[in-house]
């Protein structure tokens, strides 16, 4: 369905649902958006909040429409919606994004300061939510509740204003469908100043972005452009060897050595989106404490032996770009990057950076990486299992000793 038809049909559906259930159309939009984000694993188990706009200290306007915790990458997601009940909504401007950002920020600040009770009745559910967020934001050390990152999600049925589009917030992504390769636009993050030492970013979710996911029936692929995404690391690519494993196998293979600081930055940037679904289930919410402790010890005390001690990571992609530089083959871009095995290693490296460990720069650390490039993401066997899914499961089963 074309986007304009989709937008009109959706608004009609939201109005009808609102009339039937006796709710507000804006509430129905939030429920609809959260369902899509959950279905495509952009958010985990979101909780709706109905506090509306509220004044806090100094008349600061705050609001929260929902929240979620991502236990895999230890992030807090706070959501706010900006919905207009019209077939011709305004454009979402940078100034409006700032307004919505500050409403979420002020709520977070009031919650962490323990001041929400000054503005809400004792029986209000928002106080319980505020206490939970404060508890987890203040957790530290080895506390399993500790949070390492904050994400603000802005949900809207508006299209992005020209200035937002020109702010280099969009990148071209590649989706492989049964009809071939399709290019689409996805919204980048807006990074803000850290809050209480934790990275904070804004994720814009306009309606056309939700439409793209629905029509392609896939979430947005993680694309890693080594040199351009992480210019401060000064890597031109990941040194690798292309495996001579045969022809017409449905995949190509690379053996690589990825610097620890690059791997950690990829995880900090993209979080659990780089962990394939079955890896999240295997990793759980805390992983193996003994394995985790051993990895941390090596990071801080024997970093140059990390490559030898660690079993490495097994990853997949739908495509890669490579080039030769100074006589060695480099992987310069990875499309649809997924870690099939090695989630605990990756997460622990990221934690060392975010928690500012003794070796927070990850100096001297390199990680073995096996990369399997599987372009075909659609073909199914007689049991209806996609070739890619079967391959990723086999990769996981073959390396279960390295969680």
pLDDT in tens, 3-20: 899 999 999 999 999 999
Query: What pLDDT does 393 receive?
Result: 79
With residue 349 as reference, give the H or E element that holds it.
Answer: helix 343-354
Tell me the Ramachandran region of residue 362: left when phi exceeds 0, alpha when psi lies from -120 to 50, beta otherwise. Answer: left
CA distance 310 to 295: 8
Query: What pLDDT does 182 receive?
Result: 47
pLDDT: which is higher, 226 or 184 = 226
Query: What pLDDT does 282 receive?
Result: 43
pLDDT in tens, 234-245: 999 999 999 988
Average pLDDT over residues 246-271: 92
Q: Which residues pair with 330 in a beta bridge?
A: 239, 323
With residue 306 as reference, give the H or E element that holds it.
Answer: helix 306-309
Confidence of residue 403 (pLDDT cuts 50, 70, 90): very low
CA distance 244 to 262: 26
Query: What pLDDT does 174 receive?
Result: 46
**Cβ(71)–Cβ(44) under 8 Å?**
yes
pLDDT in tens, 320-377: 999 999 999 999 999 999 999 898 899 999 999 998 889 999 999 999 999 999 987 7
Query: What pLDDT does 179 receive?
Result: 46
Q: Evaluate if pTM is beyond 0.85.
A: no
**Cβ(274)–Cβ(337) under 8 Å?**
yes
Confidence of residue 378 (pLDDT cuts 50, 70, 90): confident
CA distance 52 to 64: 7
3-state secondary structure of 179: coil
Query: What pLDDT does 285 receive?
Result: 38
Confidence of residue 184 (pLDDT cuts 50, 70, 90): very low
Q: What angle do CA 373, 374, 380 make, to 5 degrees?
A: 170
Residues 6+ apart with CB under 8 A from 310: 295, 298, 345, 367, 368, 402
Output the average pLDDT for the chain: 87
Confidence of residue 172 (pLDDT cuts 50, 70, 90): very low
Average pLDDT over residues 212-238: 89
**DSSP designation for 274:** G
């Amino acid at each position: 369905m074309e986007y304009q038809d989709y937008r009109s049909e959706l608004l009609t559906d939201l109005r009808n649902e609102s009339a039937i259930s006796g709710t507000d159309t804006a509430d129905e939009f939030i429920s609809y958006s959260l369902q899509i984000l959950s279905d495509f694993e952009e958010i985990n188990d979101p909780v709706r909040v109905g506090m509306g706009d509220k004044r806090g200290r100094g008349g600061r306007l705050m609001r929260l429409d929902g929240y979620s915790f991502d236990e895999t990458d230890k992030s807090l997601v706070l959501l706010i919606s900006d919905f207009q009940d019209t077939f011709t909504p305004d454009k979402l401007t940078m100034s409006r994004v700032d307004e919505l950002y500050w409403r979420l920020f002020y709520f977070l600040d009031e919650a962490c300061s323990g001041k929400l009770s000054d503005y809400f009745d004792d029986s209000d559910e928002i106080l319980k939510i505020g206490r939970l967020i404060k508890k987890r934001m203040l957790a530290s050390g080895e506390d399993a509740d500790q949070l390492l990152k904050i994400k603000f999600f802005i949900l809207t049925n508006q299209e992005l204003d020209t200035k937002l589009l020109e702010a280099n917030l969009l990148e071209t992504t590649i989706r492989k469908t049964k009809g071939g390769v399709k290019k689409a636009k996805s919204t980048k993050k807006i990074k803000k100043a850290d809050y209480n030492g934790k990275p904070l970013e804004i994720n814009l979710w306009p309606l056309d972005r939700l439409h793209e996911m629905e029509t392609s029936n896939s979430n947005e692929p993680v694309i890693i452009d080594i040199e351009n995404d992480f210019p401060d690391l000064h890597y031109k690519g990941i040194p690798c060897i292309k495996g001579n494993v045969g022809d017409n196998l449905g995949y190509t293979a690379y053996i690589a050595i990825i610097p620890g600081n690059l791997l950690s930055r990829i995880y900090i940037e993209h979080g659990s989106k780089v962990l394939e679904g079955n890896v999240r289930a295997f990793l759980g919410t805390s992983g193996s404490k003994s394995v985790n402790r051993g990895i941390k010890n090596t990071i801080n005390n024997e970093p140059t032996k990390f490559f030898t001690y660690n079993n490495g990571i097994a990853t997949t992609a739908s495509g890669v770009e490579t080039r030769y530089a100074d006589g060695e083959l480099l992987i310069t871009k990875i499309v649809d990057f997924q870690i099939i095995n090695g989630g605990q290693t990756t997460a622990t490296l990221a934690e060392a950076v975010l928690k500012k460990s003794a070796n927070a720069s990850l100096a001297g650390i390199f990680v073995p990486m096996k990369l399997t490039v599987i372009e075909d993401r659609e073909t199914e066997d007689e049991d209806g299992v996609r070739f890619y899914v079967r391959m990723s499961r086999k990769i996981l089963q073959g390396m279960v000793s390295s969680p």
